[in-house]
């Protein structure tokens, strides 16, 4: 039953992630452009160039704000990561519990000490 819940949560997260890939790429691209605009704004000494870079940066900031659905894609990617981690964790613990000789090495080393 737990595996079904993990599979369902992972499937929903994957659908949300894939449906928001466009805004995610748009957000990444606009953040990169905004970073370079900020670097140019800080480099320049001219007042006119600072105003021009600031205006251009404001337009790119508005474009960045329009890609808010990309936050859903980031959250969905994180949920997928948690589902993957939980899925593998369960497999490892069930494997160790099913092994009848799991504690044999530990007990054997304790017996050798005496």
CB-hemisphere CA count at 13 Å for 47?
Answer: 0
- Which of 12-16, 23-27, 92-96 is the least confident region? 92-96
Return the domain boundaries, the chain: 1-20+69-91, 21-68
Residues for the chain: how many in total?
114
Tokens of 85: 């981690």
pLDDT given for residue 6 in this prediction? 84
| pTM of the entire predicted model | 0.64
- Which of 19-23, 40-44, 101-105 is the least confident region? 101-105
| Residue from 86, 77, 32 nearest 57 by CA | 32
């Amino acid at each position: 039953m737990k595996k079904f819940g993990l599979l369902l949560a992972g499937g929903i997260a994957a659908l949300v992630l894939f449906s928001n890939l466009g805004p995610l790429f748009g957000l990444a691209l606009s953040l990169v452009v905004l970073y370079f605009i900020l670097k140019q704004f800080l480099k320049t000494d001219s007042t006119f160039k600072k105003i021009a870079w600031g205006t251009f940066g404001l337009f790119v900031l508005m474009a960045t704000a329009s890609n808010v659905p990309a936050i859903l894609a980031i959250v969905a990617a994180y949920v997928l990561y948690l589902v993957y981690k939980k899925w593998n964790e369960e497999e490892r613990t069930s494997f160790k519990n099913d092994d009848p000789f799991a504690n044999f090495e530990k007990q054997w080393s304790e017996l050798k000490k005496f």
